[in-house]
Structure 1
Amino acid sequence: MKIKRIFSERISRPGPAAALPILALGAGGCGPNSEEIGRAMLLASPLVMLVFFGFARLLFVLWRKVRPDFSMRLAPVSWTTGALALLAILALALPYHDPNSDEGEVLNLTGVAIYLGGSTMLSAQLLLYLFLRLLAPPRAFTWSHLGALIILWPAPFLAFVPGSGVILDPAIMVWAFGGFWGIVPGVLLSIAILDAVLARRRHARIQAALS
């Protein structure tokens, strides 16, 4: 297995910090190829979408008492998650166009894709949420999940389109570094929760003053 060989030959201390070189080696042509990386990202994407849905639901519950005019429509995120799930199924079912691709490598790489690529997708979603919270608050909970698609768009091309490996290097740089091992989405989620909690406290003080 390519990934196991990378860990044993190139990484002396496997762990969270060791996941990044796997994608970096893929960009350099020494590890998983572009098709394997693209399909692994597609397999990871529905799970990441569900995780973000949980975050968005938590934020919506925190805001609901303060802003009853806010809404969270389930149809957009449901359709998006369903489309990503279909792509994930195709990533498992369709034959590989690269003879060096291997299904076992895709499955082995999926955990790395969830950890690194998923962190980047969550970062984009939370950034879009905070942006919409400032400029179009009622839409923040319904549409912020689309931030993941900004990050994920190269994956179907890498997975299914021969010759699309030219976009692999920039895609890997974004997927590997964008979430910074989960730190970026953790900080953004903390900011979003703090924003909601402070708004609830301000609302409670105003209500107490009026009563």
Structure 2
Amino acid sequence: MNTAAIRAQISRAQEHEAETKQLAQHLAKQLPHLHAAIELPDTDKNVVMTRFVSAYIEQVPDLLDAANAVAREAGIESQIKPVLKIAEQYFAQPLPLLDGHPGLEGLLDEAYLAHRLVEEVNDLYIKHLGQPLIPLDMTVANLIAHQLIGEAFANQLDEAVHHALDEMLNDESFAVESVDAYRERLTSPETGAAWSRWPCLSKQLGVGLNL
């Protein structure tokens, strides 16, 4: 995994944002039109939402590194790594439909793809192992990002994620002996402690969803 390149790309986008405030301006226009279910503090809404988007993007390389490490421990790195490489490629070689979206505003699209990819892999882990790949609940954060990106475009990105997974992961990916041994380790206290550093991103940043 070449997450160092992703980190450098994010750093450049953050510098771009510091100079242009492009994301903040974009979000300021969107805030009045966000779904009523998205809860923000009464003050500094734009600051909070900008911070949320920045953190959502920043989390991607850590998430990919962690997912790769856990898959390696489970003995199914060969099955999971190609999927994670797709998330990496979203940054290195953005899909054509992402053209024309510079800075952090643009990386929100790539980050959404990466987070949704891991979320879908998590669902597969839960199905086959009874535990997620990474016990990080990104559902709320992804729903908020979906709203910020826009329903129609976000649905296109979701479709791209489903297409990638359908071609690369199936039930046979989890039908290896090492998975059975790993299933037992998933429930250990040590495993729980290792993942305790992944709090709910949206709660951490003061953004919620009232469903």
TM range (shorter): 0.3 to 0.5
Report the TM-score when normalising by structure 1.
0.32
Report the TM-score when normalising by structure 2.
0.32
Q: Which has the higher helix share?
A: 1
